[in-house]
Structure 1
């Protein structure tokens, strides 16, 4: 591929602090690029095109042939774990997706999310009580990281001790630079070990948690959920429910502090959190792009013919700043409604945990700013801003 503009396989591109400004501040015509594994893709950034690709049944999440397995092996995934990593809901479509996704949807049902509210409030109160207003506090380590890990841990039934082990492995993928192939294998094996042991425990002693429900579903009808899918599904729920939410919480704090007039509007009327959080998701978009989609037949995309087997990468963050869809797209407006942002993706792979993520953010942020209305950053914002595809690593603040 020639004239590549968007190259995720180039570490310099990912760590370039100007990349976010160039690519996420506004959409541009579809252009050639490379994905993390170096394979060519067509990069889509316009809102309407993004929605079309994400919902078009002529695109699939499953790469052609064995390219997905080969790509995983190239990234350092051990050969025995490659089938597991290629069996997640994100790589399923049609019949398999329709069979497995209802189980995930059940995990994040409105009833379950409502039942978790009191526990989330309790967790937030405990985390805020542990903060000393007299010293510099890292909100990432003190709130944004432990809260979603605890919530998703309790949802799945992961013991507190096992959460620490999981976090130690997961940090390989959430650090300040992309994981290297020699780091990927041990980290994945540690995560799989935690979940494998958890599944065995819940099979022997079922509880009131998601893993117990999934185990019972598997054991009652193995055709509905295979051994590999059971493990992959539990892993996906923890990964998506932890890191995405921690980044959303951290970036929400930074976004509101950078727009004090909008923060004042929310603090003056707490009901505005319902519109503020989707707007922060649109404006900051913690997950910058969707997983690749692959054409199953020739498809025209903005004048480009995507041949069968070729990939398309949708940059959600850029689509969320499309002025053709959002008036004053570059401005944070916590009263914006309607707000059809793509921060949780779109179509059949819309994030099933969106409601739980927003619930955690509403409870945590309203409590944080309600208790410490004078909260401010302890360092200049540019020192902690996340890089292009690397999330925020620390959030030092002073509480007041």
Structure 2
């Protein structure tokens, strides 16, 4: 990785794999790149995916241009604020109460396990993965997401074999029953939509894994990170519990601004681009890999305001855009489930933090996922005293 460039610049180029790599750390330049029609998705192994499966019926995360716009428009109805408020919030509230009740009875739990259980329940309902036991599916997905990377020929081969077995298990026990049920009786969910669009079972499996990673894995990390902030700041925790839901969400967005789950977004320029910045005009050659430092962009004073490196529960929301700035991305590939994740965190943490005698016994370990460039927080132990 190249060192971050001076604040406000578009970044200094380096040479990696015989291609120009541009690092960007200013908010304005990041937004311009992400909203441009002259760039293509290059993160999350996108170019490797296109090499092996092609662009036809590729998961929506890896599509660009008109196919991506068409698919996003068709699935937008699952993520509108009205749908989140009227359909999914009830599920979030019910599941949160159940999970917290189980924790209170056991008096000890891992926060990352609780947040994953919630994220799986909500994402499964949106996707349509509701024809298999939820706990078993969560365990299978957890093993899939936690698969080691390893180095060397033997490790790579072993991981590939076990990865295929995990994928097969997810398909056989979770995706296949859901497809069968929706072929017989379509519902208002993603799998039913994909079947109507003529997607094959293999393509639906790939899409389910993509939605699973986006809707389950990242939401789990966000909830744990926000929970840590509340455990560490008694005053903030009291304000959070006393606030209404919109205000809680604003506080959570400030946490996410400082601690974006995915730290780097990557795009490949389809043609030459020109960016304007405080450092002047910069031309980015065609086929350049652009790496956007989300954490740095979120701390750009021009976008975040004064003292951008400090947490401020009363930070003024931008006139246009999200209070979490770039944490959910921007442009055509901005995360469609942003409202879902924020409501999940607000509802669950509001329920959990009211438990009498609640205490964080052990802080989580923090690692970085090499595919998503996102942090992973594990083994955060909470107890009831």
TM-score range, shorter chain: 0.7 to 0.9
Q: For the structure 1 residues 295 and 160, does the alpha-carbon distance in structure 2 shift closer, same or farther, using more than 3 Å as the test?
A: same
Within a 5 Å distance, the mapping from 1:4-23 to structure 2 comes to 5=2
Counterpart Cα distance in 2 of 1:196 and 1:268: 41
Aligned partner of residue 117 in structure 1, secondary structure: helix
Note if 1:295 corresponds to 2:292: no
Q: For the structure 1 residues 309 and 322, does the alpha-carbon distance in structure 2 shift closer, same or farther, using more than 3 Å as the test?
A: same
How far apart are residue 214 of structure 1 and its match? 1.4
Aligned partner of residue 331 in structure 1, secondary structure: coil
CA RMSD in angstroms comes to: 3.5
Q: Which has the higher strand share?
A: 2
Counterpart Cα distance in 1 of 2:135 and 2:118: 12
Match of 1:334 in 2: 313
The one of 358, 370, 373 aligned to 2:354: 370
Unaligned segments of structure 2, at least 5 residues: none
Q: In 2, are the aligned partners of 1:176 and 1:391 still within 8 Å (CA)?
A: no
How far apart are residue 248 of structure 1 and its match? 0.7
Note if 1:384 corresponds to 2:365: yes
The one of 202, 215, 218 aligned to 1:244: 218
Aligned residues: 359
Question: TM-score, with normalisation over the residues of structure 1?
Answer: 0.77
Aligned partner of residue 285 in structure 1, secondary structure: coil
The one of 356, 360, 368 aligned to 2:344: 360
How far apart are residue 49 of structure 1 and its match? 1.1
Q: In 1, are the aligned partners of 2:117 and 2:138 still within 8 Å (CA)?
A: no
Match of 2:243 in 1: 269
Within a 5 Å distance, the mapping from 1:84-99 to structure 2 comes to 87-99=58-70
The one of 55, 63, 72 aligned to 2:35: 55
Counterpart Cα distance in 1 of 2:66 and 2:56: 19
Match of 1:109 in 2: 80
How far apart are residue 96 of structure 1 and its match? 0.7
Q: In 2, are the aligned partners of 1:275 and 1:337 still within 8 Å (CA)?
A: no
Q: For the structure 1 residues 51 and 215, does the alpha-carbon distance in structure 2 shift closer, same or farther, using more than 3 Å as the test?
A: closer
Q: In 2, are the aligned partners of 1:175 and 1:393 still within 8 Å (CA)?
A: no
Question: TM-score, with normalisation over the residues of structure 2?
Answer: 0.80
Q: For the structure 1 residues 196 and 131, does the alpha-carbon distance in structure 2 shift closer, same or farther, using more than 3 Å as the test?
A: closer
Aligned partner of residue 185 in structure 2, secondary structure: coil
Q: For the structure 1 residues 364 and 184, does the alpha-carbon distance in structure 2 shift closer, same or farther, using more than 3 Å as the test?
A: farther
Counterpart Cα distance in 2 of 1:169 and 1:85: 26
Match of 1:130 in 2: 102
Counterpart Cα distance in 1 of 2:259 and 2:220: 13
Q: In 1, are the aligned partners of 2:121 and 2:134 still within 8 Å (CA)?
A: no
In the TM superposition, what whole-angstrom CA distance separates every residue of 1:14-47 from its partner, at most 9, and x where no partner exists? xxxxxxxxx79x8876134688x99763221211
Counterpart Cα distance in 2 of 1:237 and 1:140: 19
